[in-house]
Amino acid sequence: MSDIIQLLPDSVANQIAAGEVVQRPASAVKELLENAVDAGSTHIQLIIRDAGKSLIQVIDDGIGMSVTDARMSFERHATSKIRSADDLFTLHTMGFRGEALASMAAIAHVELKTKRQEDEVGTSVIIEGAEFVSQDNCVCSKGTSIAIRNLFYNVPARRNFLKSNPVETRHIVDEFTRVALAHPEIAFSFHHNEMQVFDLRFGNLRQRIAAVFGNNYNERLVPVEEETTIVSLSGFVCKPEFAKKNRGEQYFFVNNRFIKDGYLHHAVSAAFENMITKDSYPSYFINLQINPAHIDVNIHPTKTEIKFVDEKSVYAIMRAAVKRALGKFSVTPTLDFDQERSFEIPLEQLDKFPKLPTIKVNPNYNPFKPETVEQASNPTRWNPIIQPVRTEQWHQLHKNLMNIELPIADSKESNTFPVIDELDETCFTQMQLRMIVVTHEHGLLLIDQQMAHEQILYEQNLHNLIHKPAATQQQLFPQNLEFTPHEAMLLKELLTDLRQLGFDINEFGANAFVLHGAPAEVIAGDEKKILQLLMDQYKQNRDVMQLESRNNLALSYARSLAMRKATFLSQREMKHLVTELMNCENPLLNFNGKNILVQIGSDELMNRFNKK
Ligand code: ADP
Ligand code: MG
């Protein structure tokens, strides 16, 4: 038998390497952007079409390439960035493996145009599926343009594996954001399907963060600065009250390259200890400048993980620097309990001896004008919701519930559930502006008012999403609403379902939308705020709880509309709210199984008196 081992042809080797370097359009975007940064550009344009599936183009004004380099750049292990293994320890560039262009050329149609300052004419090179097609002179300005068309056209398995356009676009936006935040000194623009998504002028990091995430970030940022012999830190953390329930705004850059690092993340979180709730994440944008000899960047093929030689010291420095920054700007510890939306009625508190309430006299009180008392002691007003549309089946359930015998929380005896409609308004009392106490013949009902409101809205939203679109109140004058690029991206994903919920909204340019009408529950003027709250919630639920899209939207919208904590309710409003709750398919438990309502039967109450 003859020998059977052969060297793989380059085209095959490149396709295999491509699997490692280019997993999805976003990876190609990252490589091209990093090359443009390495080329010393001051303006970088990113243009994509169909979430990068049909086109990814990066145009820069960097140093460009000579005729020979233009051709060479597509060879495997062709790089201008290292010459010897020693160079690996002094790296100051993004790339160095010389694999990116070769890999992309193996799995796409690639067109390169490039010109150096000193050259009269530029060079264009076309390569398709690792096959060299042509090389010509061309007229172009200084810099480089690389267009990647039909990514994975010859790797159907990969192509079919790609996610929907919104998902792939989100990955691209993430990569773009990382590079843009790492290099505020470079101007970036980003167009998707001919629409401008980002237009970022050069500036400092603070300006860049505001340009990417919105101007309101300006007041959230606390500077972090620290210079030591081991590492220099600079950047910002967001004040504790802006910590989010979802990951996403955690940015470390080592020598201006985005990295992920769980250990360093822990260091920052430790600095925030006791200032934010355990389940929230601080936002940060911190650049570490460190001698390249003290890190090993080679640990991960796509280079988002690195290893510090002296990681314990870096950890300690990071933690101390963030702590000091928070202290210096007298950021006081504020545990934001109002953000804790899944409030439960603390049953164990019922056993404890209650604190005597202090009596506050309201001088405006006039028993004959109920409005005066409400307004005088009225922190926030509840916006009564409109009656949801009910199905047949749902009316049946309601009927059953109104007369049902429900088991009592921690008693073996059962009790008759009151018919809310028949109760006098005086049976409704508010406790601590958060709980409704209903007294009735057979005992007490304790209802978390916010959870109740949320449940009512949640079920109504689900109904609107699945069965029947909500009514829209048309506006006399259409409103233009501007969002940050990140928000706009998500809004586009949710547009169809939002219409179902009663928002008559359409795209109107890059990050702008036009609103012709909104659901009746949304107070005029609050439309943008509600949409923003909704999207924040949506992202949080998607990332933390992995909720399915419609369920998530129904819940997020309910949360953004539901009354805030500490909302004063009149007796009429309480009765209305409890009636609405009883009309729900599930008035007892919220979507993740927490009690909305607790019953205490009169027998159980009487037993308490007889206890020794
Ligand atoms: P690496 O970046 O790891 O060196 P790449 O395959 O990404 O490998 O690029 C190969 C080479 O092509 C680079 O080392 C650089 O010399 C050249 N190159 C790539 N992109 C550009 C660009 N936008 N401007 C100038 N030169 C470039
Ligand atoms: Mg590169």
**Cα–ligand 2 centroid distance for 185 (angstroms):** 20
User: To the nearest whole percent, how much of the chain has pLDDT over 70?
Assistant: 81
560-599 as b/e: b if 16+ CB within 10 A: bbbbebebbbbbebbbbbbbbbbbbeebbebbeeebbbbb
If phi > 0 it is left, if psi is from -120 to 50 it is alpha, else beta; for residue 77 that is left
Please tell me the residue having the least CA distance from ligand 1 atom 23.
36
Q: State the closest ligand 1 atom to the C-alpha of 63, by its place in the atom list counted from 1.
A: 25
pLDDT average, residue stretch 215-231: 91
Q: Confidence class of residue 298 from pLDDT cuts 50, 70 and 90?
A: low
> What token pair was written down for 79?
């790089």
- The alpha carbon of 214 is separated from its chain's Cα centroid by a whole number of angstroms, namely 14
pLDDT at 364: 46
* pLDDT for 612 beyond 70: no
Please tell me the residue having the least CA distance from ligand 1 atom 8.
98
> What token pair was written down for 361?
């006299």
Closest CA to 235 of 215, 214, 250: 250
DSSP 572: H
304 C-beta closer than 6 A to ligand 1: no
**Cα–ligand 1 centroid distance for 260 (angstroms):** 24
Best residue for ligand 1 mutational test, from 79, 87, 88, 146 (most atoms within 8 Å of Cβ): 79
If phi > 0 it is left, if psi is from -120 to 50 it is alpha, else beta; for residue 92 that is alpha
- Do residues 509 and 195 touch, judged by C-beta distance below 8 A? yes
Close Cβ partners of 158 (under 8 Å, ≥ 6 residues apart): 19, 107, 152
Return the ligand number nearest the Cα of 96: 1
DSSP characters for 555-568?
A: HHHHHHHSPPSS-B
pLDDT at 340: 35
The angle formed by the CA atoms of residues 568, 569 and 572, to the nearest 5 degrees, is: 160
- 10 Å CB burial of residue 526 (0-12, 13-18, 19+) is middle
Closest CA to 148 of 74, 95, 258: 74
pLDDT at 397: 47
Helices (H), 389-448: 392-403
DSSP 381: B
What is the distance between the alpha carbons of residues 180 and 285, in angstroms, rounded to a whole number? 12
Please tell me the residue having the least CA distance from ligand 1 atom 20.
35
What is the distance between the alpha carbons of residues 36 and 146, in angstroms, rounded to a whole number? 10
* pLDDT for 368 beyond 50: no
- Do residues 163 and 169 touch, judged by C-beta distance below 8 A? no
Please tell me the residue having the least CA distance from ligand 1 atom 2.
95
Over residues 377-387, the pLDDT tens digits come to 333 444 444 33
Q: Confidence class of residue 417 from pLDDT cuts 50, 70 and 90?
A: low
Q: For residue 267, how many other CB atoms are within 10 A of its CB?
A: 20
pLDDT average, residue stretch 495-512: 92
Close Cβ partners of 127 (under 8 Å, ≥ 6 residues apart): 74, 105, 109, 110, 112, 133
494 C-beta closer than 6 A to ligand 1: no
Close Cβ partners of 277 (under 8 Å, ≥ 6 residues apart): 243, 335, 336, 339, 340
DSSP 356: P
For tokens 């009392």, the residue is 429
* pLDDT for 121 beyond 70: yes
pLDDT at 347: 34
70 C-beta closer than 6 A to ligand 1: no
| 85, 369, 405 from 96: Cα distances, Å | 11, 77, 72
pLDDT at 434: 92
**Cα–ligand 1 centroid distance for 285 (angstroms):** 27
95 C-beta closer than 6 A to ligand 1: yes
Among the residue ranges 203-207, 308-312, 495-499, 557-561, the one predicted with the least confidence is 308-312
What is the distance between the alpha carbons of residues 150 and 157, in angstroms, rounded to a whole number? 14
What average pLDDT is seen over the chain?
82
Please tell me the residue having the least CA distance from ligand 1 atom 1.
98
pLDDT at 4: 82
457 C-beta closer than 6 A to ligand 1: no
Helices (H), 73-204: 100-106, 156-161, 165-182
- Do residues 124 and 19 touch, judged by C-beta distance below 8 A? no
- Do residues 89 and 100 touch, judged by C-beta distance below 8 A? no
| 159, 201, 346, 439, 527 from 444: Cα distances, Å | 61, 62, 15, 5, 38
Question: Hey, CA dihedral for 517, 519, 521, 522, is it positive or negative?
Answer: negative
Among the residue ranges 264-268, 348-352, 488-492, 600-604, the one predicted with the least confidence is 348-352
The more confidently predicted of residues 176 and 331 is 176
pLDDT at 5: 82
144 C-beta closer than 6 A to ligand 1: yes
**Cα–ligand 2 centroid distance for 101 (angstroms):** 7
pLDDT at 386: 36
> What token pair was written down for 388?
């949801």
pLDDT at 96: 65
What is the distance between the alpha carbons of residues 507 and 515, in angstroms, rounded to a whole number? 9
Q: State the closest ligand 1 atom to the C-alpha of 78, by its place in the atom list counted from 1.
A: 10
Among the residue ranges 77-91, 523-537, 596-610, the one predicted with the least confidence is 77-91
Q: Confidence class of residue 222 from pLDDT cuts 50, 70 and 90?
A: very high
What is the distance between the alpha carbons of residues 19 and 152, in angstroms, rounded to a whole number? 10
> What token pair was written down for 401?
């519930």
- Do residues 62 and 36 touch, judged by C-beta distance below 8 A? yes
Q: Confidence class of residue 91 from pLDDT cuts 50, 70 and 90?
A: low
Q: Confidence class of residue 451 from pLDDT cuts 50, 70 and 90?
A: very high
The more confidently predicted of residues 501 and 600 is 501
Among 48-52, 343-347, 472-476, the range with the most confident prediction by mean pLDDT is 48-52
Compute φ and ψ for 21, nearest 5 degrees: -80, -40
Q: Confidence class of residue 324 from pLDDT cuts 50, 70 and 90?
A: very high
What is the distance between the alpha carbons of residues 145 and 36, in angstroms, rounded to a whole number? 9
> What token pair was written down for 7?
């060297």
pLDDT average, residue stretch 575-598: 88
* pLDDT for 370 beyond 50: no
The angle formed by the CA atoms of residues 346, 352 and 356, to the nearest 5 degrees, is: 100
**Cα–ligand 2 centroid distance for 353 (angstroms):** 68
The more confidently predicted of residues 172 and 404 is 172
pLDDT at 363: 42
* pLDDT for 122 beyond 70: yes
Over residues 19-67, the pLDDT tens digits come to 778 889 999 999 999 999 999 999 999 999 999 999 999 999 999 999 9
Among the residue ranges 48-52, 289-293, 370-374, 477-481, the one predicted with the least confidence is 370-374
CA atoms within 13 A on the CB side of 189: 12
- Do residues 493 and 538 touch, judged by C-beta distance below 8 A? no
The more confidently predicted of residues 399 and 64 is 64
Q: Confidence class of residue 9 from pLDDT cuts 50, 70 and 90?
A: confident
The more confidently predicted of residues 455 and 166 is 455
The more confidently predicted of residues 34 and 610 is 34
Closest CA to 347 of 472, 490, 446: 446
Over residues 64-78, the pLDDT tens digits come to 999 999 999 998 777
What is the distance between the alpha carbons of residues 535 and 260, in angstroms, rounded to a whole number? 25
pLDDT at 242: 86
For tokens 């390169």, the residue is 112
**Cα–ligand 1 centroid distance for 35 (angstroms):** 5
Q: State the closest ligand 1 atom to the C-alpha of 62, by its place in the atom list counted from 1.
A: 24
pLDDT at 3: 86
Please tell me the residue having the least CA distance from ligand 1 atom 16.
80
Question: Hey, CA dihedral for 80, 86, 91, 96, is it positive or negative?
Answer: positive
309-336 as b/e: b if 16+ CB within 10 A: eebeebbebbbbbbbebbeeeebeeeee
What is the distance between the alpha carbons of residues 571 and 578, in angstroms, rounded to a whole number? 11
For tokens 């919220």, the residue is 590
For tokens 């470390």, the residue is 252
35 C-beta closer than 6 A to ligand 1: yes
